[in-house]
């Protein structure tokens, strides 16, 4: 009888210690031993239709719970999650990629084993470029330490990590070690004080300051700190598209999503005329900035992230994001009156006018009706394209109830991400917004929803192709094969679906979908090929104005 935990068992225990309860993936012969351990553990295995679906599901799971895990076999499985791992890295989502691998003894004399690419370490070399830490658990003396080192990096930097399990060592006992305390590097106190002093001086001197809270506020669990800072200073808060729902949009200090020309004009004007924009955890990406139509001047900005702190043109090294945020809460600010009305009072959230039985549904009317449909128990998951841009105008009542790949922008995210989101928090019902092109990539993961008795509501924006790209440059390459999406319940033997052409059909389907909780609901909304959301219309208009005025965008 062996003593102590095996390497695989220790990895499972540490994942559980860090809050992971589900592992997404596809089994394969190099990882079957570890799958057997997972099956007999406290963790639940969620077998998806494809590895990419497992990767997206784990990404969404991590965004909600703080850590996610995907488990696949060597190379043919591992390289299929390279794309989803790249997205997790780009958007700071801590996903643990666990890959089975040929045993150490099998590798002697470099045989041509199945799934191998070039050398046995080729896959690890690929993931070294996509993760913040990686390891091959090839040494029983150090395996436990390596597991803790890599998991610590995922939690410290909020980015994915890679763990490779040779199959002949999964069941071998490891060597116990002293588990490290969950500590982080400390800020240089003198530099931190200097940064806080300059920041407070700038904020106090401003007449129209604004807090711009983005995705890192969520990743590092600083939502409550942002709310406390807003209350302490009476400064309004905006988010970006990537950080949407970082705080609840009914919060009295919240005034909307800032996304350059794609956003609402009142929000854009307020931010771009501000004399002090305090950017907290912000990603200054092209999509976040409305394809770089945003006007944010460094001379009137405070920019604080986990990787950089700058105030005006001064850069401060060795200052942690959390220390700066919490340091601000201890500072003295001058009293000011909150002059801007909150978003919940300014945005038009009244139920849309009565639906016309024969009036064709449009993208604008679709999102108006979805805005009235969203309930307290829903999480909105938007795929890339007009599903994402249009969703920027939706009213999200509570924080962390909106997910979308608004930086890396990989199509196919939403359906598997909705599965991961509901697994992460069973109290949330996903409202999945996805274009027909993106649905054809990963929409079959609805089979996974059926298998695990999940009940997402999926709205397929069917404009017969890659609609956003048609507005950039159209051609036959933007067309996709027409599917009868509304007939998918016949394929899966579960779920309900509706074909929607008119406003009345949409209203009736939304009512029925809300009541149908036993399985998934799918609404195939057929739209004109060149129809687009108000957000995309605003962007096109602003870009046109800039070009006509000779301004370079």
396 band by pLDDT with thresholds 50, 70 and 90: confident
User: Model confidence at 12, in pLDDT bands (50, 70, 90)?
Assistant: very high
- Residue 179 is assigned to a structural domain of this protein: no
d(CA 165, CA 214): 36
Give the domain range for residue 415. Answer: 350-537
544 domain residue, yes or no: no
| Number of Cβ atoms within 10 Å of the Cβ of 449 | 24
Specify whether 494 is located in the same domain as 511.
yes
Q: Evaluate if residue 288 carries a pLDDT over 80.
A: no
**Quick one: which H or E segment has residue 510?**
helix 503-515
Q: Is 237 left (phi over 0), alpha (psi -120 to 50) or beta?
A: beta
Instruction: Tell which wins on pLDDT, 399 or 404.
Output: 404
205 and 153, same domain (yes or no) = no
Q: pTM for the complete prediction?
A: 0.90
Which among 404, 362, 363 has a CA at the least distance from the CA of 384?
404
**Whole-angstrom distance, CA of residue 307 vs CA of residue 348:** 37
Q: Mark out the alpha helices in 158-293 (DSSP H runs).
A: 189-205, 215-219, 223-233, 265-272
Residue 266's pLDDT is what?
A: 86
* pLDDT beyond 50 at 138: yes
Question: Diameter of the chain by CA atoms?
Answer: 80
Q: Do 314 and 358 lie in a common domain?
A: no
Give, as one character, the DSSP assignment of residue 77.
Answer: T
Distance, in Å, from the CA atom of 324 to the CA atom of 113, rounded to the nearest integer, reads 51
Between residues 354 and 384, the one the model is more confident about: 384
- Is residue 551 pLDDT above 80, yes or no? no
Give the number of residues written for the chain: 553
What average pLDDT does the segment 518-529 reach? 96
- DSSP character at residue 551: -
- What is the arithmetic mean of pLDDT over 86-112? 91
Mean pLDDT on 498-505: 96
- Whether residues 336 and 356 share a domain: the answer is no
Question: Among the three residues 106, 132, 166, which one is the final residue of a domain in this structure?
Answer: 166
pLDDT classification of 407: cutoffs 50, 70, 90: confident
- Asked whether residue 200 carries a pLDDT value surpassing 70, the answer given is yes
Residues 297 and 335 in one domain: yes
Mean pLDDT of 502-511: 96
- Give the pLDDT of residue 296: 77
Q: What is the CATH number of the domain that holds 403?
A: 3.40.50.970
User: Is the domain of 274 the same as that of 328?
Assistant: yes
Pick the range with the lowest mean pLDDT from 336-345, 414-423, 437-446, 472-481: 336-345
Across residues 76-91, what is the average pLDDT? 96
Q: Do 324 and 363 fall into the same domain?
A: no
The predicted pLDDT at position 261 comes to 64
Best-predicted range by mean pLDDT (156-170, 296-310, 385-399, 400-414): 156-170
For the sheet with 209-213, list strands across it.
Answer: 254-257, 237-239, 209-213, 276-280, 301-304, 309-311, 314-315
Specify the DSSP element, H or E, that contains 211: strand 209-213
**133 and 208, same domain (yes or no):** no
Same domain, 299 and 212: yes
C-beta separation of 380 from 37 below 8 A: no
Sequence-ordered strand ranges (E) for 374-502: 378-382, 402-403, 429-435, 457-462, 496-500
Per-residue pLDDT at 227 exceeds 80: yes
| 14 and 157, same domain (yes or no) | yes
CA atoms within 13 A on the CB side of 216: 22
Q: What is the mean pLDDT of residues 278-287?
A: 82
Other C-beta atoms closer than 10 Å to the C-beta of 469 total: 14
* pLDDT 10s digits, 31-81: 999 999 999 999 999 999 999 999 999 999 999 999 999 999 999 999 999
Q: What are phi and psi of 273, to 5 degrees?
A: -100, 0
Q: Is 201 contained in some domain?
A: yes
Q: Which of 40-54, 71-85, 422-436, 461-475 has the lowest mean pLDDT?
A: 461-475
Residue 96: inside a domain? yes
Q: Which of 117, 133, 166 is the last residue of a domain?
A: 166
Strands 237-239 and 161-166, by their bridges, are: unpaired
Please give the helix or strand (H or E) that residue 239 lies within, else none: strand 237-239
Number of domains in the chain: 3
Residue 446, domain member (yes or no): yes
The helix or strand, by DSSP H or E, that contains position 149, with its residue range, turns out to be helix 143-157
Q: How confident is the model at residue 463, as a pLDDT?
A: 92
Residue 283, pLDDT score: 82
Going by the DSSP 8-state scheme, the letter that residue 29 receives in this structure is G
CATH number at residue 261: 3.40.50.1220
Other CB atoms within 10 A of residue 491 CB? 11
Averaged over 109-123, what is the pLDDT?
83
Residues 339, 354: one domain? no
Average pLDDT of the chain is 89
pLDDT at 351: 58
How far lies 387's CA from each of 53, 344, 398, in Å? 19, 22, 20
CA distances from 225 to 200, 285, 320, 326 (A): 16, 24, 15, 7
Q: Name the β-bridge partners of 162.
A: 97, 134
pLDDT beyond 80 at 339: no
Residue 273 lies in a domain: yes
Average pLDDT over residues 121-133: 96
Distance CA 86, CA 130 (A): 5
- SS3 of residue 496 by DSSP: strand
* DSSP states along 54-76: HHHHHHHHHHHHS-EEEEE-TTT
183 domain-assigned: no
For 437-457, the pLDDT digits (tens) are 999 999 999 999 999 999 999
pLDDT number for residue 116 = 81
CA-CA-CA-CA torsion for 331, 334, 337, 340, nearest 10 degrees? -60
Judged against a pLDDT cut of 70, whether residue 341 lies above it is answered with no
Q: Assess whether 309 and 388 both reside in one domain.
A: no
Question: For the residues 160-168, what does the mean pLDDT come to?
Answer: 97
Q: Which percentage of the chain shows pLDDT scores above 90?
A: 67
Top mean pLDDT of 180-184, 262-266, 510-514 is at 510-514
Closest by Cα among 250, 214, 210, 256 to 538: 256
């Amino acid at each position: 009888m062996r003593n102590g935990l095996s390497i695989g068992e220790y990895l499972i225990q540490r994942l559980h210690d860090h809050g992971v309860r589900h592992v997404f993936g596809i089994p394969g012969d190099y990882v079957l031993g570890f799958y057997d351990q997972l099956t007999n553990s406290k963790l639940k295995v969620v077998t998806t239709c494809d590895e990419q679906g497992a990767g997206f599901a784990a990404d969404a799971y991590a965004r909600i719970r703080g850590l996610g895990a995907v488990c696949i076999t060597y190379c043919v499985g591992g390289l299929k999650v390279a794309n989803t791992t790249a997205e997790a890295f780009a958007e700071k989502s801590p996903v643990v990629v666990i890959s089975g691998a040929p045993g150490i003894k099998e590798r002697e004399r470099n045989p041509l084993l199945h799934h191998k690419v070039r050398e046995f370490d080729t896959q690890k070399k690929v993931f070294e470029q996509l993760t913040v830490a990686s390891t091959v658990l090839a040494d029983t003396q150090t395996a436990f330490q390596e597991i803790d080192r890599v998991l610590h990096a995922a939690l410290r930097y909020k980015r994915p990590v890679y763990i490779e399990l040779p199959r002949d060592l999964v069941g071998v006992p490891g060597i116990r070690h002293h588990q490290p305390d969950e500590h982080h590097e400390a800020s240089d106190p003198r530099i931190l004080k200097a940064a806080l002093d300059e920041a407070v001086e700038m904020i106090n001197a401003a007449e129209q300051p604004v807090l711009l809270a983005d995705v890192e506020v969520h990743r590092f669990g600083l939502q409550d700190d942002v709310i406390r800072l807003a209350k302490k200073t009476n400064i309004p808060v905006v988010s970006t598209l990537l950080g949407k729902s970082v705080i609840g949009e009914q919060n009295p200090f919240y005034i909307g999503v800032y996304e350059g020309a794609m956003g609402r004009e009142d929000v854009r004007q307020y931010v771009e005329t501000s004399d002090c924009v305090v950017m907290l955890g912000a990603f200054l990406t092209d999509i976040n900035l409305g394809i770089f139509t945003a006007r944010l001047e460094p001379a009137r900005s405070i920019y604080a992230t986990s990787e950089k702190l700058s105030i005006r043109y001064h850069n401060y090294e060795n200052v942690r994001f959390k220390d700066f945020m919490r340091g601000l809460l201890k500072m003295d600010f001058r009293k000011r009156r909150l002059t801007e009305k909150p978003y919940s009072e300014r945005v038009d959230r009244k139920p849309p006018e009565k639906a016309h039985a024969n009036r064709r549904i449009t993208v604008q009317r679709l999102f108006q009706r979805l805005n009235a449909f969203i309930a307290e128990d829903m999480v909105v998951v938007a795929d890339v394209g007009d599903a994402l841009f249009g969703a920027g105008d939706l009213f999200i009542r509570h924080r962390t109830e909106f997910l979308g790949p608004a930086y890396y922008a990989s199509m196919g995210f939403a359906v598997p991400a909705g599965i991961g989101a509901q697994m992460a928090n069973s109290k949330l019902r996903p409202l999945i917004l996805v274009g027909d092109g993106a649905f054809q990539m990963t929409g079959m993961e609805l089979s996974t929803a059926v298998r695990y008795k999940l009940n997402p509501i999926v709205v397929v924006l069917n404009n017969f192709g890659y609609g956003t790209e048609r507005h950039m440059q159209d051609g036959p390459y933007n067309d996709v094969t027409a599917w009868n999406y509304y007939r998918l319940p016949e394929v899966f033997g579960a779920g309900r679906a509706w074909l929607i052409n008119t406003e009345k059909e949409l209203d009736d389907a939304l009512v029925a979908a809300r009541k149908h909780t036993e399985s998934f609901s799918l609404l195939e909304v057929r739209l004109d090929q060149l129809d687009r959301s108000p957000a995309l219309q605003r962007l096109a208009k602003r870009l046109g104005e800039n070009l006509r005025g000779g301004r370079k965008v």
